[in-house]
Structure 1
Amino acid sequence: MRASLRLFALSLLAAGPILLAPAIPSPAMAQELSDEGRMPSLSGATHWFNSPPLTTQALRGKVVLVDFWTYSCINCLREMPYIRAWAEKYKNSGLVVIGVHAPEFEFEKKTDNIQKAISRFHVDFPVAVDNDRSIWNSFNNEYWPAAYFIDAQGRIRHHHFGEGDYATSERIIQTLLTEAGAKNVPISLVDVSASGEQAEADMNNVGSPETYIGYARARNFISTGGAVQDSANDYVLQGTPELNQWGVTGNWTVTDEHATLNAQGGGITYRFHARDLHLVMGPGPNGKPIRFRVTIDGRTPGMQHGTDIDEQGNGTVTSQRLYQLVRQTGPITDHTFHIEFLDPGVQAFAFTFG
């Protein structure tokens, strides 16, 4: 399996204000869409939500949108309101949306976690759980999110990697439905207004990259002595990090995928530039809630707090997911983020920004 990265770089280019929409779907537009081959089988799914198992044969005659996502990916979460809106708007015209949940982290393979995410984000279209990456590999996919547009004959006619460019994607759905003979296909575009971590990113002000905490993909880690692999170690962070540098303090065990805090009072510091800061984390194996406190430049966040903390910076890790910890208002500048954990056991996976 080839290594896969979320589309931070591509989303910088793709997201942002939607440009003027293309012309109303026409036969000429349909002819311009390519033929990228037949839709691969969905038989590799290990579980299905919101639907019995679907097959390519049963989907023949339908326009299908296959969307690869995973529930802790911020780019996927920001795209999801559009996917959900298209599924509802065009279901009576013959569109079938299938979300293929392909995990990045081990905890994203747990069906209970996926079910909670489906409920949290109001996903009511079919979701195929692709824990073995069987469907992912059959599509030769490499990205989260990734959308494949399939015509009524079962041919892939277009794909889009990353978030953004929603107007073009919706016009393609309209074109394929019209090509399939659907009547009265709406020609308007969905008007999505999302909140929390699903709100559109301020990509013009994102100056920090997705940052993994596990040693396999960690970059710019500056705690004294560097990361000690797979063993408990006391870490110290001296001075203030430069932009996009980060480190941990306290006693942690750093593995290839995450870092686990072994004693209360440890923390993580990151110098960042973005409107939003998120941290993917969860409680340890015992599942006990973990209290934490966030500061920005040494002060309580106030109105700069994210949806998962209060104005004093207080929050609790209760499940394995993405937590929004900072949402700035006003001009975006560099800031030093710090999170201190008041209980041991937290597992921290990755920072993302928006």
Structure 2
Amino acid sequence: MGKLGIARETICPEESSPKNGQKVAHATLELRRKIFFGQLKYRRRFFTGIWSPDSDYSCGSCIVIEDALAGVQAAKAAKMRCIAVTTTLSEDTLKAAEPTLIRKEISNISIEDILNGGGSGSHNVMVQESQSIIDLAVSSPESNRTESIADNYPTSGAVSSVGGVQVTRRDVVRYGSLGIAASCLLFTITNWKAMQYASPKAIWNLLFGTGSPPFEQKEDASRSQRIQQFVDYISDVDARKSTAIVPEFPSKLDWLNTAPLQLRRDLKGKVVLLDFWTYCCINCMHVLPDLEFLERKYKDMPFVVVGVHSAKFDNEKDLEAIRSAVLRYGITHPVVNDGEMNLWRELGVNSWPTFALVGPNGKLLAQLAGEGHRKDLDYLVEAALLFYGRKKLLDSTPIPLRLEKDNDPRLLTSPLKFPGKLAVDILNNRLFISDSNHNRIVVTDLEGNFLVQVGSTGAEGLRDGNFDDATFNRPQGLAYNAKKNLLYVADTENHALRVIDFVNETVRTLAGNGTKGSDYEGGGTGTAQLLNSPWDVCFEPENGIIYIAMAGQHQIWVHETSDGVTRAFSGNGFERNQNGSSSTNTSFAQPSGISLSRDLKEAYIADSESSSIRAVDLRTGGSRLLAGGDPIMAENLFRFGDHDGIGSEVLLQHPLGVLCGKSGQIYIADSYNHKIKKLDPVSRRVTTLAGVGQAGFKDGAAVAAQVGKSSYIFSYLYCVLDTSATLIGT
């Protein structure tokens, strides 16, 4: 019972006479004191359907204080006076049981009510004002009259009646328990894939946290003081007997960029940073520059980064797919394919990316999850090298590398390098290609003959100017403005929106300045407004608006060409598959493709991490589900597969591209299923057009053709951009 809870209690005066008034008043005060301080303890027995306290008093001389309907009914059946208290039920509900009196709270019950309940000195109405306990203690009853309670009252313990059916409290508990069990079963079924990534240790870490260094920093602390703080932390962790030892890599695992490594053999004597990642994850992409920074800074030191690829999607377990990702992202440190997530479970990892720092003796020093830890990781690595260097436990022998980029003939011969997206200018017979890893935009005719390139140096950078001087950094989405002969570019890793002017042959930045933003509202003008990994764009010509699939922060943004303002349009920034009536109660999960409907009333979204196709209302910013994903659990981003059908019964796997054709049909680049599919926006039916579900670049009939990780399509020749195969097919 809670400290302010109400007790169902029976008060039985020895005699019904005024001389016992003070005795009853004292008993009532003691009862209230016990209730207030949570001290009241009492026992009850069950007799023929009613509850009765242990007592030698006759029922006629007792009065019951009760707050449950069944208790009132039981008191009436036992011919006992009853004061009902509206703790849990309304006055109207209690009236139906015909108690002697009804009071709002137990503190409203007076001595007069107890002695004369039901008599002329009482009235069966709610007491609005509480009497003080002192007043109750000194009050004297004016009369002592009891009132008989009618017989033949039900004793079933019913608490409510719906449609004439009596429901007991036991029924409520029974059906409530069944409801909870059914909800748990539904959650388990719908989140089964997600639960496969969990482990008892991961749940423990999620609830109670992991060992992490003291990140709080005094404003006036110098770098040396900060490093010493981390050294002290590592010294403490290393000395603990309870510190976890990182388990060995299973011998059966495949490695990239190096021969298979063992912690106790090849990595002994080295400070090792394990990066748990999966190549679809935008957050994992965001931390790659941090890892590159650490590798450069601690080059030739006993420090090694090891990427532990722990796949989310089934397609990501494939070694060749991981190899393509290693090449596409320019990763040069060792990578192990832990497709069964052995180390993930052993260390209790529960999110991508997660970093685990391992000492030269195999001890787990720290575990950090998410982005934004460059400075902390820098301090940790430096402190670990300093601490273990003093203990003479380090071995500077380098790890022999065998980089994948030096062993792939396709990259040496292909004119394209992991192209991202496409756009088309049908009137002028032009095809625009974002040649992402060459950091340029290539223009060909619709037969594939080269016309011109923008950003000819191939170097990463954010520089405006003419076609030869301008630079990009892994550009993705493209959208063509036919009226002004402009091409809008989602310059993804520059976190910028660019425009190519084919009349003046120049490149200009519309928004972003190369810094990854964290603004979820926007509203800034020009390059002052920071962006976060824009992945695709489309252009609405009537109002001059560019719609941006902002994958980095799970939103849809708009750029207004009239005034240069860039702002959030739909999505609240939470990574979810949540559809709502407005922009603020809608959530996306790494939207990577966007296309306008023919009537310009909706934008179709390839919501990659939720494996769904969504439609955004261009008036309200709200969204609705068209196909795929989990229609019930917004946080479940693990409902994926390969199944055609209607609406939510459809299973997709990380779609990256979407296009509305001339007929209004929607074409989907179902990237990790290696298929091109068609979606009818009216019936919401999805059917496969091309691909057999296996990666490759085999031409032929649609049902037999093979495509790699397709990421974009357009309608003129149903041209498909095959990112993994670094080619374009029709």
Do the two structures share a fold, i.e. TM-score over 0.5? yes
- The question of 1:149 aligning with 2:357 is answered yes
Q: Which residue of 2 aligns with 1:201?
A: 516
- Indicate how the Cα distance of structure 1 residues 241 and 113 shifts in structure 2: closer, same or farther if over 3 A, else same: farther
- Indicate how the Cα distance of structure 1 residues 27 and 46 shifts in structure 2: closer, same or farther if over 3 A, else same: same
- Indicate how the Cα distance of structure 1 residues 140 and 244 shifts in structure 2: closer, same or farther if over 3 A, else same: farther
Deviation of the 1:248 alpha carbon: 3.3
Q: Which residue of 2 aligns with 1:175?
A: 383
Q: Which residue of 2 aligns with 1:245?
A: 623
**Does the residue aligned with 2:316 lie in a helix, a strand or coil?**
helix
Is the CA contact 2:272–2:357 (under 8 Å) kept in the aligned structure 1? yes
Cα distance between partner residues in 2 of 1:139 and 1:171: 22
1:122 to 324, 330, 334: 330
Cα distance between partner residues in 2 of 1:92 and 1:236: 49
Q: Which residue of 2 aligns with 1:78?
A: 286
Q: Which residue of 2 aligns with 1:111?
A: 319
Cα distance between partner residues in 2 of 1:315 and 1:242: 32
- Indicate how the Cα distance of structure 1 residues 320 and 243 shifts in structure 2: closer, same or farther if over 3 A, else same: farther
- Indicate how the Cα distance of structure 1 residues 129 and 292 shifts in structure 2: closer, same or farther if over 3 A, else same: same
Is the CA contact 2:653–2:671 (under 8 Å) kept in the aligned structure 1? no
Q: Which residue of 2 aligns with 1:255?
A: 651
Is the CA contact 2:315–2:321 (under 8 Å) kept in the aligned structure 1? yes
Cα distance between partner residues in 2 of 1:193 and 1:173: 29
Q: Which residue of 2 aligns with 1:281?
A: 671
Letter in 1 for 2:626: V
Q: What do residues 41-62 of structure 1 show as CA deviations (whole Å, max 9, x unaligned)?
A: 2116631001122112122211
Deviation of the 1:98 alpha carbon: 0.4
- The question of 1:30 aligning with 2:231 is answered yes
Cα distance between partner residues in 2 of 1:236 and 1:149: 39
Is the CA contact 1:97–1:126 (under 8 Å) kept in the aligned structure 2? yes
- Indicate how the Cα distance of structure 1 residues 122 and 244 shifts in structure 2: closer, same or farther if over 3 A, else same: farther
- Indicate how the Cα distance of structure 1 residues 259 and 146 shifts in structure 2: closer, same or farther if over 3 A, else same: closer
Cα distance between partner residues in 2 of 1:53 and 1:236: 42
- The question of 1:52 aligning with 2:451 is answered no
TM-score when normalising by structure 2: 0.30
More displaced 10-residue stretch of structure 1: 131-140 or 71-80: 131-140
Q: Which residue of 2 aligns with 1:318?
A: 722
Cα distance between partner residues in 2 of 1:193 and 1:64: 31
Deviation of the 1:147 alpha carbon: 0.4
Q: What do residues 91-129 of structure 1 show as CA deviations (whole Å, max 9, x unaligned)?
A: 311101100011111111111111111111111111010
- The question of 1:267 aligning with 2:666 is answered yes
Cα distance between partner residues in 2 of 1:220 and 1:70: 19
Greater RCO (CA < 8 Å, at least 6 residues apart)? 1
Deviation of the 1:317 alpha carbon: 3.8
Cα distance between partner residues in 1 of 2:670 and 2:371: 19
**Does the residue aligned with 1:48 lie in a helix, a strand or coil?**
strand
Is the CA contact 2:616–2:624 (under 8 Å) kept in the aligned structure 1? no
Is the CA contact 2:667–2:713 (under 8 Å) kept in the aligned structure 1? no
- Indicate how the Cα distance of structure 1 residues 69 and 292 shifts in structure 2: closer, same or farther if over 3 A, else same: same
Letter in 2 for 1:208: G
Letter in 1 for 2:666: G
Cα distance between partner residues in 2 of 1:109 and 1:247: 28
TM-score when normalising by structure 1: 0.59
Cα distance between partner residues in 1 of 2:711 and 2:327: 23
1:210 to 551, 556, 575: 575
Q: Which residue of 2 aligns with 1:188?
A: none
Q: What do residues 195-217 of structure 1 show as CA deviations (whole Å, max 9, x unaligned)?
A: 4444553222243333459xxxx
**Does the residue aligned with 1:93 lie in a helix, a strand or coil?**
coil
Cα distance between partner residues in 1 of 2:369 and 2:614: 39
Give 5+ residue unaligned stretches, structure 2.
1-194, 203-217, 238-242, 393-459, 463-472, 475-491, 495-514, 521-552, 554-571, 579-585, 590-612, 628-642, 676-692, 694-704
Is the CA contact 2:574–2:587 (under 8 Å) kept in the aligned structure 1? no
Cα distance between partner residues in 2 of 1:178 and 1:315: 56
- Indicate how the Cα distance of structure 1 residues 236 and 87 shifts in structure 2: closer, same or farther if over 3 A, else same: closer
Cα distance between partner residues in 2 of 1:291 and 1:212: 22
More displaced 10-residue stretch of structure 1: 153-162 or 283-292: 283-292
Is the CA contact 2:575–2:588 (under 8 Å) kept in the aligned structure 1? no
Cα distance between partner residues in 2 of 1:193 and 1:238: 33
Is the CA contact 1:45–1:134 (under 8 Å) kept in the aligned structure 2? no
Cα distance between partner residues in 1 of 2:248 and 2:660: 48
**Does the residue aligned with 1:159 lie in a helix, a strand or coil?**
strand
Cα distance between partner residues in 2 of 1:236 and 1:172: 42
Cα distance between partner residues in 2 of 1:220 and 1:158: 31
Instruction: After TM superposition, list the pairs within 5 Å mapping 1:271-350 onto structure 2.
Output: 281-282=671-672, 283-284=674-675, 285=693, 286-288=705-707, 291-292=712-713, 316-319=720-723
Give the aligned length. Answer: 256
- Indicate how the Cα distance of structure 1 residues 198 and 136 shifts in structure 2: closer, same or farther if over 3 A, else same: farther
Sequence identity percentage: 21
Q: Which residue of 1 aligns with 2:344?
A: 136
Q: Which residue of 2 aligns with 1:96?
A: 304
Cα distance between partner residues in 2 of 1:127 and 1:203: 29
Cα distance between partner residues in 1 of 2:295 and 2:324: 20
Give 5+ residue unaligned stretches, structure 1.
6-18, 184-191, 222-234, 270-278, 295-313, 322-342, 344-354
Letter in 2 for 1:267: I
